[in-house]
Amino acid sequence: MGSGRLVAVFGAYGHTGRFVVAELAARGFVPVVSGRNAGVLKELADEHGVEARVASAGDTESLDRALAGTVAVINCAGPFAATTGPVIEAALRARIPYLDVAAELEANLDTFARYQDRAREAGAVIVPAMAFFGGLGDLLVTAAMGDWTAADEARIAYALSSWHPTAGTRLSGAVSRERRGNARLRYRGGRWERRTDEAPTLRWTFPEPVGVQEVIGEFTMADVVTVAQHLAIPDVSTCMTADAVRDVAAPGTPAPTATDPGGRSDQTFVVDAVVRRGGTERRATASGQDIYAITAPLVAEALERVLAGRTGTTGVAPAGEIFDAPDFLRALAPDLALGLPPQHS
């Protein structure tokens, strides 16, 4: 557990950041809450009895002060296109691990492209997309792969009962759309493609009680980035239930509302990962409540394992590469209900 160690949380007062701060405190860490808004930051710090350090991505000295004396930094501040680079640089200067919860495709691709060599040479650990989108799907695909060293295809399907986006989700989505223009991204044949056609509408059979649902195929999320970085799978895709896509796209959909003492909404999710090699398929599934809240135990468990040296590599590494995927997933009970392949039961 945390044993009182200081962990910087940049973007701590955002919707997901608040879950992360609470989870770190519950695990015995001492969060150092950081961000630009001094007033909101003080309120959060007072609530948890911790230190607040005002910092912004555009101010190098403030970031260095925010990370001073900490053992790691978790970046929860979107849009990540603007924050990942500066906070990673600060982590490298401080010689501490960096983790983030970025769901932005472009930000994650940038992190791998810009920092892989530097981080590996420095023996540093950088874990991007350690969240519902990116980390969870990657862990499930890796668990489903088992002893396979390669597969023909990986598909990850998300069934959300609803999707009430946070302000951060909307802002990050707008930044990604601006960077892509009219195109969408697809990973096919071992390379990224820019597409201008409409994403296909398909049917996906989720585990009961969800069952058959209409999904938007090639609804490409961060899982495609992370899986493609370390597994020999030429075709990787993600799809999302059509109702959830309509929710997140509608300008009038409200933000999440807490329905339990922990601040979680009543949203439920199922993530269904299928890998295929020839005519054989393997499947791993996870279900739980609130895609934003589940990010907190995901990134906090990753932090504990990084600090304990329970990692398989250094450099920029996705969850499935740096951690023992089945063991990691099982450690998240009771936050996740799992269905893993027989070879991992």
196, pLDDT greater than 60: yes
- Span 17-41, mean pLDDT? 98
Same domain, 257 and 306: no
Q: Are strands 98-100 and 201-205 parallel, antiparallel or unpaired?
A: unpaired
Same domain, 287 and 146: yes
Same domain, 309 and 332: no
Residue 1 in domain: no
Same domain, 123 and 214: no
- Domain range for 72 is 6-131+296-322
345, pLDDT greater than 50: no
CATH (domain of 282): 3.30.360.10
**Structure confidence at residue 266 (pLDDT):** 97
- Span 288-302, mean pLDDT? 98
Same domain, 18 and 108: yes
Same domain, 273 and 311: no
Same domain, 211 and 302: no
DSSP string, 117-136: HHHHHHT-EEE---SIIIII
Residue 210 tokens read as 């969800």
Residues 322-340 have pLDDT tens digits of: 999 999 999 999 899 999 9
Residues 134-180 have pLDDT tens digits of: 999 999 999 999 999 999 999 999 999 999 999 999 999 888 888 88
- Span 45-63, mean pLDDT? 97
- Span 45-66, mean pLDDT? 97
- Span 70-76, mean pLDDT? 98
Residue 198 in domain: yes
**Average confidence score pLDDT of the chain:** 96
Give yes or no for a cis peptide into 209 (omega within 30° of 0): yes
Instruction: State the total domains in the chain.
Output: 2
Burial (0-12, 13-18, 19+ Cβ within 10 Å), 330: middle
**Structure confidence at residue 37 (pLDDT):** 96
Same domain, 256 and 312: no
Helix (H) or strand (E) holding 16: helix 15-26
The type of residue at 215 is: V
Share of the chain above pLDDT 90, in %: 94
**Structure confidence at residue 2 (pLDDT):** 66
Residue 193 in domain: yes
Same domain, 166 and 81: no
Same domain, 260 and 161: yes
**Structure confidence at residue 344 (pLDDT):** 41
Same domain, 275 and 334: yes
- Span 204-222, mean pLDDT? 97
Q: Which of 345, 285, 314, 315 is nearest to 141 (CA)?
A: 285
- Span 263-288, mean pLDDT? 98
3-state secondary structure of 170: helix
Same domain, 186 and 334: yes
* Count of helix runs (H) and strand runs (E) in the chain: 12, 16
Give yes or no for a cis peptide into 334 (omega within 30° of 0): yes
Residue 255 tokens read as 């933000």
**Structure confidence at residue 343 (pLDDT):** 62
